[in-house]
Amino acid sequence: MPPEIQAQTPDRANGKLVPIATLNRDLSWQVAPSLLVSFKYAWAGVSYAFQTQRNFRVHVFVGTFAIGLGLFLHLDAVEMAIVGLTIGAVLAMELLNTALESVVDLTVKQSYHELAKIAKDCAAAAVLVSSLAAICVASSLLLPKLWLLVEPHLL
Ligand SMILES: Nc1ncnc2c1ncn2[C@@H]1O[C@H](COP(=O)(O)OP(=O)(O)OP(=O)(O)O)[C@@H](O)[C@H]1O
């Protein structure tokens, strides 16, 4: 028996709200039965992105390097938190970009559609924006301390 609370959408023909989905997600092929299984599927997503998306791999390696550099340069806890959040944001954007690409490809297959182009371009732009923010964070938190470290050896 579906729960009473339902997502609704306006029916333009008669002006009434009609149910489009229920809380127990009747439209889903499968729903994870437990938190542990949910984590398993989430990890499968990370693994898929790492194996198939070159940009995701690059961001994982750059992010790992940035955290290592932050520890080496003794960033304080707040600075490390900012670096960590920034890396997490970039990786999350990459994962969402990959998910959206799959949904678009599932929908339009190999045909050209202007809305598919907009969706993919905007998802890629979200990755670009988060990457630029990450460069700003690295420039203000990591580079000055790195410069202080290497400067004496240059003169
Ligand atoms: N079905 C489509 N219809 C219209 N344009 C498309 C379609 N599929 C892809 N494109 C265009 O090609 C570009 C590249 O597509 P792709 O699927 O490689 O996405 P991407 O975000 O660039 O991939 P990645 O993040 O892996 O580099 C898109 O940004 C979009 O402009």
pLDDT one digit per residue (tens) for the chain, 155 residues? 444 455 667 777 777 776 666 667 878 888 888 999 999 999 999 999 999 999 999 999 999 999 999 999 999 999 999 999 999 999 999 999 999 999 999 999 999 999 999 999 999 999 999 999 999 999 999 999 999 999 888 86
**Under 8 Å between Cβ of 18 and 11:** yes
Give nearest CA residue, ligand 1 atom 10.
117
Q: Using the atom order of ligand 1, give the atom closest to the CA of residue 104.
A: 1
| In the chain, ranges of CATH 1.10.287.3610 domains | 41-154
Alpha carbon of 91 to ligand 1 centroid (Å): 19
H or E segment to which residue 9 belongs: strand 6-10
pLDDT at residue 1, as a whole number = 41
Fold of 41-154: Helix Hairpins (1.10.287)
Does ipTM come in above 0.90?
yes
| 101 CB within 6 A, ligand 1 | yes
pLDDT at residue 5, as a whole number = 54
Q: CA 64 → CA 10, 67, 84, 123, 149, distances in Å?
A: 47, 5, 10, 23, 20
Q: What are the phi and psi torsion angles at 9 (to 5°)? A: -135, 145
Check residue 20 and report its DSSP letter. Answer: E
